[in-house]
Homo-oligomer: A and B are copies of this chain.
Amino acid sequence: MTVRQLSLPELAEACRDTGVPGVGLWREPVQAYGVEAAAKLVRDAGLAVTTLCRGGFLTASDPAERSAALADNRRAVDEAAALGTDTLVLVSGGLPPGSRDLRGARERIADALAELGPYAGEHGVKLAIEPLHPMYAADRCVVSTLAQALDLAERFPAHQVGVAVDTYHVWWDDQAPAQIARAGAQGRIHTFQLADWTTPLPEGVLNGRGQIGDGAVDMREWKGYVEAAGYTGPIEVELFNDTLWTRDGREVLAETAARFAEHAG
């Protein structure tokens, strides 16, 4: 998503040229290119698929919507398995229209995981619940903290359900370091993502994630927390940023790799 201006073949080539060994893919471009074709492309390029983003949106109370969401998440698991990644990132979903019941929405996620966790496990895919920043609690993700994500994940085996740790979403939270330790002790850190916090936030607050080093987040500090918790997996850089998307994608990828080396290498 950091360089969504690149097509999948361009992305694979740019990763190879930049020495980036793995890539997190998003479902929409993969589906547009064809799942099997995308799988062959990254395999031939020697690229690891670190995660597939994203399943989730499991908070609907309407039975038909709920059933459709579960079916879509099973497809996402299938796609992850086909791409050769063991991790599917879940963004939980927001409040249904007109609802003010955060607790109920969070409980419906647990109900959905009881169906999806075993399905994912059977396909060799781990679900990673990603807490999103509290500013998304109403319209995008009712899971706002690592503590909440772990409270949900702990109801299931770690090889079925864990969490995604993204600096953009948790950097403000003084409880997050302890929750990272809790997640690590249980083998539930299923991915670690970096983005920086820059202000002012843009309208809608979706596409203002800062390039590594441009903002308020001490990347090395957070890398230290996940490493101390035993995490040895890939580190992804996931930037939603309107300005970065207007630039040449190869240049942005190279800049991102350089910033990563400088601030988190």
A200 sits at the interface (CB 8 A): yes
Least CB distance from A2 to B in Å reads 21
Q: Mark the stretch among A11-19, A41-49, A60-68, A95-103 that contacts chain B.
A: A95-103
Contact with B along A206-218 (1 / 0, CB 8 A): 0000000001111
A216 nearest in chain B by CB position: B138
Closest chain B residue, CB of each to CB of A200 = B204
Task: Say yes or no: is A258 at the interface (Cβ < 8 Å to chain B).
Answer: no
Complex CA distance for A204 and B221, rounded to whole angstroms: 27
Task: Tell me the bound Cα distance from A76 to B103 in angstroms.
Answer: 39
Please tell me if the beta carbons of A138 and B203 are within 8 angstroms of each other in the complex.
Answer: no
Total residues of chain A contacting the partner, CB 8 A? 35
CB-CB nearest in chain B for A169: B134
Bound Cα distance A144, B221 (Å): 19
Residues of B within 8 A of A204 (CB): 200-201
Min CB distance, A223 to chain B, in Å?
A: 13
- CB 8 Å contact bits of A159-180 with B (1 = contact, 0 = none): 0000000000001111100000
Chain A interface SS verdict (over half): loop
Complex formed: what's the CA distance from A106 to B174 in Å?
11
A197 and B133 contacting across the interface, CB-CB below 8 Å:
no
Cβ–Cβ contact A217 & B135, under 8 A? no
- Asked if A154 CB lies within 8 Å of chain B CBs, one says no
Q: Is the C-beta of A139 less than 8 angstroms from some C-beta in chain B?
A: yes
Q: Which of B197, B201, B221 contacts A205 (CB 8 A)?
A: B201
Q: Taking the complex as formed, is A199 at the interface, i.e. its CB lies under 8 A from any CB of chain B? A: yes
Decide if A202 is an interface residue (CB 8 Å cutoff): yes
Query: For residue A172, which residues in chain B have a CB less than 8 angstroms away from its CB?
Result: 102, 134, 137-138, 144
A7 at the interface (CB under 8 A from B): no
The answer to whether the Cβ of A148 comes within 8 Å of any Cβ in the partner chain is yes
Q: Let me know if B148 and A199 touch, CB within 8 A.
A: no
Given contacts A135-B135, A138-B197, A203-B203, 12 further A-B contacts (CB under 8 A): A95-B216, A100-B216, A102-B171, A133-B134, A133-B135, A134-B135, A135-B205, A137-B197, A138-B172, A138-B199, A138-B216, A145-B174
Sample of 17 A–B contacts (CB below 8 Å): A99-B216, A100-B218, A102-B171, A102-B174, A102-B216, A133-B134, A134-B134, A134-B173, A135-B205, A137-B197, A137-B216, A138-B172, A138-B197, A138-B199, A147-B175, A200-B205, A201-B201
Instruction: Enumerate chain A interface residues (CB-CB to B < 8 A).
Output: 95, 99-103, 106, 133-135, 137-139, 144-145, 147-148, 171-175, 197, 199-205, 215-218, 221
